């Protein structure tokens, strides 16, 4: 199977293998279970698992669950499901950072004993004030030079819950005048009297990312710890902590540019807000860039992997156009999706010269891009539905579809001619009356007669009603986090991002489709069954993408 194309990380790893810095490659994907995975995470998953695959190594799935506040078992389950669905297998290498809390605590005690960490009673504001600004040395905390004995005792008390939240923290004693602010005595532990979803109330002190993450990597024997660019400035700290513990392996941190996409948000904080405040229909809303949302929308695992291979990995921040993600799934489904006919906004069409009781089962190819996909039979009779927009009583120039007196072809069937329009009292068109030319059946003797349009249709006697959901970008603004004065990102939600059509009519073969299958509805785009709202009595379909990029305008 394909892997991530070679990039600067491959150069580093090949060199590390050549020089013997490492003999195997061991990566990890380390999500925090405080939300669902999104397409940005997919990039990291594909990258980490690809590297392991390319160099015959292994990749861990590690839950970086060191913050008790927002982490839940539900997120753990959802993340595992999504990684598996994307096609990656961590085998027996499933880890939880919270399982290391005892070891981390012991190592913190060791640093205290070596005079490299201290308990600080300053408030967060005082700590930040004393850190100062990068261009000038900071001010050492008045607690910085406490004795080892006192620090050991205070840290033990912190662990036993004898201090309140915010009363004190454990800090590493590094360098209060470093130009890198992260080295100005970073916090290692803070007090949080909150239950942890796995550890319960065993702990009331929790390690910070900087202290915990390198240890997690080292405990697991990770060789290359890949993270996003914002951690580049943390790297000296990652290395400092591991340098203090020479008996542990020392993984190499490598940073790459995160994936940014237009017309959406990918910060977990903002995604959580959209979900919790009900702006969207849960984490799997098909408009979200979450893996669960993309799955419900009809994206396939291979399309997401292909997207990740194509955007590439680099050190330079960039923003990928949403249209590119859509182009990738469109290209895949064009090759693989069986074609079907569905009329989304129907109007009745009667063929007056077609025998009343006759039904013909016409053969239709399933996929012109793939002859091996075979054919199916679709019923044709006197009463059909066509798309309301495919008929105009007074067509403007360049409108070539059906109009009074005009001929069009019905796909896989006959050429018809519009003879008459029936309206209700309000003047709405309720029926289009046509005649057909029996000689023009597709594949028949006079099937090559030229007309300017071919329409899709569904037999009114055989088709079934379904709900169809059309999606558009969730935000009208390319970067909804770039907010104008007095607004929030919520002000840029696209009010037309979901359109629900209640009366679509679908060809009968669509009655037995399953979630996870993709179909092209001729002329209308790619669709799949909605896994959330479909019932056997009423099927609901989601449009994955249109046939063409409608944003090119
Ligand atoms: P947020 O910043 O919104 O809280 P996060 O990055 O902290 O999200 P994590 O669960 O910590 O979310 O991420 C797990 C892994 O996925 C990390 O290694 C992170 O670098 C990577 N990752 C997260 N977002 C992206 C992205 N947009 N592009 C590439 N990798 C990403
Ligand atoms: Mg985070
Ligand atoms: Mg993170």
C-alpha angle 270-271-274 in degrees, rounded to nearest 5: 90
**For residue 327, how many C-alpha atoms fall within 13 Å in the half-sphere facing its CB?**
11
Residue whose CA is closest, atom 25 of ligand 1?
Answer: 40
Query: ipTM value of the model?
Result: 0.96
How does strand 518-521 pair with strand 498-506?
unpaired
Summarize pLDDT for 16-27 with one digit per residue, the tens. Answer: 999 999 999 999
| 34 annotated binding-site participant | yes
Summarize pLDDT for 114-141 with one digit per residue, the tens. Answer: 999 999 999 999 999 999 999 999 999 9
| Mutation test residue for ligand 1: of 34, 41, 231, 312, the one with most atoms within 8 Å of CB | 41
Residues 231-243, mean pLDDT to the nearest whole number:
98
Whether 190 shows a pLDDT value over 90: the answer reads yes
Atom of ligand 1 nearest to the CA of 269: 3
Q: What is the pLDDT of residue 141?
A: 98
Determine if ligand 1 sits within 6 Å of the CB of residue 32. Answer: yes
524, 545 contact by CB (below 8 A): no
| 216 annotated binding-site participant | no
> Hey, what are 204's tokens?
């009331």
Q: What is the pLDDT of residue 551?
A: 61
Which ligand has the minimum distance to the alpha carbon of residue 62? 1
Which parts of 86-219 fold into alpha helices (H)? 101-113, 124-131, 148-160, 209-219
| Residue 42, phi then psi, degrees to nearest 5 | -60, -40
Q: In the block, which residue shows the tokens 């009331």?
A: 204
Q: What is the pLDDT of residue 446?
A: 73
| 189 annotated binding-site participant | no
Q: What is the pLDDT of residue 552?
A: 54
Atom of ligand 1 nearest to the CA of 228: 20
| Residue 306, phi then psi, degrees to nearest 5 | -60, -45
Our separate counts of H helices and E strands in the chain read 12, 25
| 548 annotated binding-site participant | no
pTM of the predicted protein model: 0.96
Residues 282-293, mean pLDDT to the nearest whole number:
98
What distance separates the 2 farthest-apart alpha carbons in the chain?
102
Determine if ligand 1 sits within 6 Å of the CB of residue 286. Answer: no
Question: In 3-state terms, what secondary structure has residue 118?
Answer: strand
Determine if ligand 1 sits within 6 Å of the CB of residue 40. Answer: yes
Contacts of 82 (CB under 8 A, 6+ apart): 36, 37, 291, 292, 295
- Which residues are identified as catalytic? 32, 258, 268
> Hey, what are 259's tokens?
């994936």
What is the 65 CA–ligand 1 centroid distance (Å)?
13
> Hey, what are 483's tokens?
């907010």
Contacts of 13 (CB under 8 A, 6+ apart): 25, 51, 55, 224
Distance from C-alpha of 440 to C-alpha of 413, rounded to nearest angstrom: 8
Backbone conformation region of residue 244, classed left if phi is above 0, alpha if psi is from -120 to 50, else beta: alpha
Determine if ligand 1 sits within 6 Å of the CB of residue 41. Answer: yes
Determine if ligand 1 sits within 6 Å of the CB of residue 43. Answer: yes
Question: What is the 3-state composition of the chain as percent helix, strand, coil, each rounded to the nearest 5?
Answer: 30, 25, 45
The domains of the chain, with CATH numbers, are 8-256 (3.40.50.620), 265-341+462-553 (2.40.240.10), 347-456 (2.40.240.10)
How does strand 252-256 pair with strand 187-191?
unpaired
Distance from C-alpha of 188 to C-alpha of 237, rounded to nearest angstrom: 11
Distances (CA, A) of 132 to 129, 135, 231, 408, 483: 5, 9, 21, 76, 29
Summarize pLDDT for 331-373 with one digit per residue, the tens. Answer: 999 999 999 999 999 999 999 999 999 999 999 999 999 999 9
């Amino acid at each position: 199977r394909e892997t991530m194309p070679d990039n600067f990380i491959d150069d580093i790893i090949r060199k590390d293998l050549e020089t013997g810095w490492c003999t195997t490659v061991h990566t990890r994907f380390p999500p925090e279970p405080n939300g669902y995975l999104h397409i940005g995470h997919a990039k990291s998953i594909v990258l980490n698992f690809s590297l392991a695959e390319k160099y015959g190594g292994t990749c861990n799935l590690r839950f970086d669950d060191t913050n008790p506040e927002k982490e839940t078992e539900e997120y753990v389950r959802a993340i595992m499901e999504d990684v598996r669905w994307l096609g990656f297998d961590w085998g027996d290498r499933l880890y939880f950072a919270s399982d290391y809390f005892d070891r981390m605590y012991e190592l913190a005690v060791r640093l205290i004993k070596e005079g490299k960490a201290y308990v600080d009673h300053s408030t967060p504001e005082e700590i930040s004030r004393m850190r100062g600004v990068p261009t000038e040395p900071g001010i050492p905390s008045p607690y910085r030079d406490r004795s080892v004995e006192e620090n050991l005792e205070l840290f033990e008390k912190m662990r036993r819950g004898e201090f309140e939240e915010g009363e004190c923290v454990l800090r590493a004693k590094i360098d209060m005048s470093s130009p890198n602010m992260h080295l100005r005595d970073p916090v290692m532990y803070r007090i949080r009297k909150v239950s942890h979803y796995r550890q319960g109330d065993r702990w009331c002190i929790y390690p910070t990312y900087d202290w915990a993450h390198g240890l997690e990597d080292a405990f697991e024997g990770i060789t290359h710890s890949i993270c996003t660019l914002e951690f580049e400035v943390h790297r000296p700290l990652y290395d400092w902590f591991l340098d203090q513990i020479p008996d542990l392996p020392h993984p190499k941190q490598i940073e790459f540019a995160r994936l940014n996409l237009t017309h959406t948000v990918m910060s977990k904080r903002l995604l959580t807000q959209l979900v919790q405040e009900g702006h969207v229909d849960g984490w799997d809303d098909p408009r979200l860039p979450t893996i669960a949302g993309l799955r419900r929308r009809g994206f396939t695992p291979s399309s997401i992997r292909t997207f990740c291979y194509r955007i590439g990995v680099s050190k330079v921040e960039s923003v990928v156009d949403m249209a590119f993600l859509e182009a990738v799934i469109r290209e895949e489904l064009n090759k693989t999706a069986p074609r079907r006919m569905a009329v989304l906004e129907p109007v009745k069409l009667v063929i007056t010269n077609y025998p009343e009781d006759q039904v013909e089962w016409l053969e239709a190819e399933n996929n012109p891009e793939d002859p091996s996909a075979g054919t199916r039979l679709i019923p044709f009779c006197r009463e059909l539905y066509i798309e309301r927009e495919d008929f105009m009583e007074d067509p403007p120039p360049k409108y070539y579809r059906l109009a009074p007196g005009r001929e069009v072809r019905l796909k896989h069937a006959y050429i018809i001619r519009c003879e008459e329009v029936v309206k209700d009292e309000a003047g709405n068109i309720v029926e289009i009356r046509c005649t057909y030319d029996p000689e023009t059946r597709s594949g028949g003797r006079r099937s090559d007669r030229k007309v300017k349009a071919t329409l899709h249709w569904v037999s009114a006697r055989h088709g079934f009603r379904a709900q169809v959901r059309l999606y558009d970008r969730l935000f009208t603004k390319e970067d909804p986090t770039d907010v104008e004065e007095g607004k929030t990102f919520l002000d840029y939600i696209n009010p037309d991002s979901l359109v629900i059509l209640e009366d679509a009519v679908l060809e009968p073969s669509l009655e037995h489709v399953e979630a996870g299958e993709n179909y092209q509805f001729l002329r209308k785009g790619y669709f799949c069954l909605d896994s959330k709202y479909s019932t056997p009595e009423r099927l609901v379909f989601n449009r994955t993408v249109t046939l063409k990029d409608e944003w090119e305008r």
